[in-house]
Chain A
């Protein structure tokens, strides 16, 4: 073993330290009193800084040294967590480029989000609780990233879900926040069922949940042989498991049918949105698909990769269209996150592991930047979120404006910025794989440039429209009425809020150059997956993506920039052109209403049906028993014992009278009735087992 490999091995054994510090910080903060605000924030940020340094050290070690360009630097450290009888449960940590890059991004972006949060939450009385949750959130995400065991990954995955639940509903006294937290939790749980089935199948067929181990019997190391076995629905076994895992990722990363929770997650404080949308929650799904990529590609004949690509493609285009017609500053960004996640999934599905993960990293930087920027705007305008009541902020908030501009250009894919290179790589990967998906993705890229331009002009262009009276004559006091200064002019935010923006914008500008095909080959590709051939470059893709980006911005300027909105009540210029379609987009294609009309209704109908079955069948059984014993008691009456006569008579009356009542009594909330039905069910099951 070379020195380098030994060094990696040592570092892998210390990977647990990365999530450890935020976890300890969260534990300490859970015990702190409410007044310990400064201590709480310091602890969180220090712990995250430590994680960041450790992640940077690990990242440095995985960088290719010398001529080792053809092999992934991968080290892992497994240990037995506990033995239960004769079964041992193994846990482990991994250090490879995928983990190292991701961990560094999460820790770094998270660190700056935390700094920003000290400003955003400065007026909140539950400051310590907020930072406690934030620390736990970061710890679970980092744990997910360094896990070398699917069970550990799943535990962290659920912890991430729990933290997002807690943070989305941080202002739980708002009914909308309480609804949003439940929605996020339940929607992702739908996907988690698939994930869990996938885990169970993987364990059943490989006997381990450790991803890599030294003996080569780890779950991922067996992916090739799993690819040879037949699974369900015409997939190989590896493909079936991959499909199940992907369903989990769809919930977590807000892919098309399960995307509904993400926009509602806006109800949380803005730093939470930044964390969810950039570094943690939604990144988990994409990361997990990247981590389990060997299963997805185990059998080349499987349709699971196409499935991933098309889901991603649909999500990318679908969400981009919705983002065009939103007025809430954070909602536009939320749908753009959905759309960008779709891009990442599409890249993964097209076989572009590197492209997908690279976009995940760059996107994290500029989306965190945009969200924090929107947080600054919201604070600067005294809790205003409606873009129609903003405008002209360029004059009032210059630092925020310039940083936001960088983020917007990066997201729109304008050449020197980060988003251009990563998005371009995705488009190249898709271009080589499927032309139709590429065309749709290019259309989504066009819409991205357009709606971001629209947002820029509505928020920062024109003149300040806040404080005006809207069409109904109500004062536009903004989101939180308790701020008495709603009519004041917007102001620039404090340094601890804009400093993260500046730092992140530097990365949003330069980070993409790591993945550019023009400088000494694609550096990021060599780093992440040296064994894969780099996709061939296609000039048409690059040219077209620049053209549609420019066209989107131009169109945005034509519609929103040339003649800025004068008044908050003015209709959107697009609404006139698109007519009814605009309303459809504004109502998000009515997906929520569709779910309400179908799934929720169907569940209710099913509930009613089951209740009817309960009444007819189960009650019938009870009823039959009653009648049998009534007959027996009649018999006793003829025998002539005084006591039993009376008892039997009572029973007879009781069962006749009870018969009618029984129908109404079944759902009676009495524990003994339920126990009875349970025991009968058990008897029936055992009887079926023995006598079938």
Chain B
């Protein structure tokens, strides 16, 4: 398991790094898919098979494709115009701030006694239990999510359609 963890971790980190540094937007999305795959691998490793599947379906199947569509709709495949801003003021300050955030987070993880826990889940996550909980004790938040998704869907359509209606 440890070997698998390190391999997947390297893949995930690489995917994330490339996704935020590559210049071509389509390449960025491809790296992002790599990152999503890595996360899905972690889920499988953590015996959360359901979430691994969900990760592939939602993130790679839907979100990544959605982003690709957005790139095509905005006709901006090449990404950033102008000279690369590596070493520019903005790049450096962003990197420093991110490093600071990573620093305090890692420090917090190190100090936390629970981080040393090595016991693991005896059995994979049961999807049936999850389903029962969602329509049982958690039904109201679940329905709330349904409403939220509907609202987001309608909102997204309205926002994206606004201009078309005005032109008519």
Contact = CB atoms under 8 A, between A and B. Distances in A.
A676 B93 contact: yes
Interface stretch (B39-47, B96-104, B114-122, B158-166): B96-104
B92 A687 contact: no
A83 B140 CA distance: 8
Interface string A622-662: 10011001000100000000001001101100110010000
A686 B93 CA distance: 19
A690 B111 contact: yes
Contacts of A679: 97-98, 100-101
A631 to B, nearest CB: 11
A4 B101 CA distance: 66
B82 interface: no
B101 A683 contact: yes
A233 interface: no
B93 A625 contact: yes
Interface in B127-154: 137-141
Contacts of A232: none
A683 B88 contact: no
Contact of B93 (A626, A647, A690): A626
Most buried by A among B86, B100, B111, B137: B100
B108 interface: yes
B89 interface: yes
Contact of B92 (A84, A625, A644, A690): A625
A27 interface: no
A625 B96 contact: yes
The A contact surface, by secondary structure, is helix
B156 interface: no
B104 A654 contact: no
A85 interface: yes
Nearest to B136: A83
Interface string B79-93: 000000011111011
Contacts of A676: 93-94, 97
A683 B104 CA distance: 7
Contacts of B108: 686, 690
Given A629-B92, A690-B104, A690-B108, A683 B87 contact: no
A650 B90 CA distance: 12
A599 interface: no
Contacts of B141: 84
Contacts of B111: 690
A82 interface: yes
A682 B96 CA distance: 14
Contacts of A629: 89, 92-93, 96
Interface string A653-692: 0110010000000000000100010011011001100100
Contacts of A672: 90, 94
B100 A690 contact: no
Contact of A650 (B88, B97, B100, B105): B88
Contacts of B90: 672
A626 B105 CA distance: 24
Contacts of A633: 87
A633 B98 CA distance: 19
A686 B138 CA distance: 32
B107 interface: yes
A652 to B, nearest CB: 10
A84 B136 CA distance: 11
Contacts of B89: 626, 629, 651, 654-655, 658
B100 A84 contact: no
Interface in A560-575: none
Nearest to A82: B140
Interface string A75-94: 00000001111000000000
A553 B87 CA distance: 84
Contacts of B103: 683
Interface of B: 86-90, 92-94, 96-98, 100-101, 103-105, 107-108, 111, 137-141
Given A84-B140, A679-B101, 18 more contacts: A84-B141, A85-B137, A629-B89, A629-B92, A629-B93, A633-B87, A644-B87, A651-B88, A658-B89, A672-B90, A672-B94, A676-B93, A679-B100, A683-B100, A687-B104, A690-B104, A690-B107, A690-B108
**A-B complex: 4 closest residue pairs judged by Cβ atoms:** A647-B87, A82-B140, A686-B104, A629-B92
23 contacts: A82-B139, A84-B141, A85-B137, A622-B93, A625-B96, A626-B89, A626-B93, A629-B93, A644-B87, A648-B87, A650-B87, A650-B88, A651-B87, A651-B88, A651-B89, A655-B89, A676-B97, A679-B98, A679-B100, A680-B100, A682-B101, A683-B100, A690-B104
